[in-house]
């Protein structure tokens, strides 16, 4: 998706502001082509930042902290899913004590 298509999704977001978010590293579209190409994850990130700024009225200087914390939560959830898959792959004799320890 090109920047014009992203801009069309957000009527109250101007291109200069979006470019600023990209320059700050808050949004990281693909730059392999001569123009930015936004993947679904990039559009979701734009939507998140837009909501933080417009709906929740988070101050601009707090956005990097909020994004960093949300990124950490996302990474932690992925790691926990990996641990869950590893535990589920174990035989009952191993899985049982692990699950029992988690339920304490």
pLDDT in tens, 56-104: 999 999 999 999 999 999 999 999 999 999 999 999 999 999 999 988 8
Q: Name the DSSP letter for residue 92.
A: H
Q: State both tokens at 100.
A: 């029992």
**Considering the entire predicted model, what is its pTM?**
0.81
| Domain assignments of the chain as residue spans, ordered by start | 1-58, 59-104
Q: 31, exposed or middle or buried, with CB in 10 Å at 0-12, 13-18, 19+? A: exposed
* Beta-bridge partners for 37: 30
DSSP sequence for 67-80: HHHHHHHHHHHHHH
């Amino acid at each position: 998706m090109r920047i014009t298509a992203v801009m069309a999704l957000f009527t109250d977001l101007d291109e200069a502001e979006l470019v600023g978010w990209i320059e700050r590293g808050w949004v990281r579209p693909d730059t392999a082509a001569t123009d930015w190409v936004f993947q679904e994850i990039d559009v979701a990130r734009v939507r998140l930042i837009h909501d933080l700024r417009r709906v929740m009225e988070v101050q601009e200087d707090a956005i990097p902290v909020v994004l960093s914390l949300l990124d950490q939560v996302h990474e932690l959830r992925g790691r926990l899913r990996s641990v869950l898959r590893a535990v589920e792959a174990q035989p009952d004799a191993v899985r049982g004590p692990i699950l029992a320890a988690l339920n304490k």
